[in-house]
Amino acid sequence: MSDSDNEVVTLFRPVGPAELELIRQAHFRAFPPRLPDQPIFYPVLTEDYAVKIARDWNVAASGAGYVTRFQVRRAYISRYDVQNAAGEHFQEYWIPAEDLSEFNRNLVGEIEVVQEFKQP
């Protein structure tokens, strides 16, 4: 294995309580499969962007929002292009739902919850 095989990228994912529970059930080692109406998995590049989504969208939709942080092998994630969702500060990867199992196999370490937001 070369050094480049061991390189990782730190990414973030905002989640609601239901998705967090599924991550917990997977022992913080995998993201759950997408639902039929979720054809894309969206990990984001910055914690600030994940905070905005968790705080502004997840809390409104489900009463709570969480920011997860995780690492994925650079060799794997580099096959996907970074997408600008709404400008250079809102960058994410678009992982097709059918690729999520392979994405999970390329996670390094555990998925961590680094911030949480709840309705007052």
Number of domains in the chain: 1
- What pTM was estimated for this model as a whole? 0.92
Integer Cα distance of 34 and 5 in angstroms? 27
Cβ atoms of 117 and 61 within 8 Å: the answer is no
Average pLDDT over residues 97-113: 98
Q: What is the pLDDT of residue 9?
A: 97
Question: 45: closest CA among 4, 5, 87, 75?
Answer: 87
Integer Cα distance of 100 and 108 in angstroms? 14
Residue 86 confidence (pLDDT) above 90 = no
Average pLDDT over residues 108-117: 98
11 vs 14, 40, 62, CA distance in Å? Answer: 10, 16, 23
- 3-class state of residue 113 by DSSP: strand
| Domain range enclosing 17 | 3-118
